[in-house]
Amino acid sequence: METIARKGRVLFVNDSKATNADSAARALACFSDIFWIAGGKPKTGGIDQLAGFFPRIRKAYLIGEAAAGFAAGLGNRVPFVIAGNLERAVALATRDAEAATEMAPVVLLSPACASFDQFRNFEVRGDKFRELVRAIPGVAPAQSA
């Protein structure tokens, strides 16, 4: 996981390398108030095994080929929007996280999917996320630990 930036209370985290549900679970376990960007080219198993983390997710922003399947998996347990692409997902998640009442909202890209439907690989997807976040007005680079 890469902490990219902060805007006010909102933290932006790049976990594009999470190309399956097991990997995404590790990121979801780290935060409590998550605005989750997920989806891409689905892998076997979907996101059913992530149900234990659903209470941590304030809203999901679904992208790529997996969007409809993930929407069905989330059902009425997690609010979601089918954003379609990463650009729209980042914009919507940022808006919602900034308006949230939670003390520490996190916009988390942890797709639980391969990237091949929209990107050459997970690194390119992560680079695009980083670029989009850094272009948000008022965003500041996150402090290194």
Residue with more model confidence, 97 or 118:
97
pTM as predicted: 0.93
Note the Cα 93 to chain centre separation in Å: 8
Model confidence band, residue 43 (pLDDT cutoffs 50, 70, 90)? confident
- What are the pLDDT digits (tens) for 44-84? 778 889 999 999 999 999 999 999 999 999 999 999 999 99
Residue with more model confidence, 137 or 113:
137
CA proximity to 12, closest of 36, 29, 48: 36
User: What distance in Å separates the CA atoms of residue 17 and residue 29, rounded to the nearest whole number?
Assistant: 16
Where do the structural domains in the chain lie, given as residue ranges? 2-134
Residue with more model confidence, 95 or 145:
95
Q: For the residues 16-40, what does the mean pLDDT come to? A: 94
Model confidence band, residue 145 (pLDDT cutoffs 50, 70, 90)? very low
Model confidence band, residue 103 (pLDDT cutoffs 50, 70, 90)? confident
CA proximity to 66, closest of 135, 127, 130, 115: 115
* CATH class of the domain comprising 2-134: alpha beta
Statement: residue 13 has pLDDT above 70: yes
- What are the pLDDT digits (tens) for 109-134? 999 887 777 777 888 888 999 999 99
Statement: residue 26 has pLDDT above 50: yes
- What are the pLDDT digits (tens) for 63-74? 999 999 999 999
User: What distance in Å separates the CA atoms of residue 98 and residue 20, rounded to the nearest whole number?
Assistant: 28
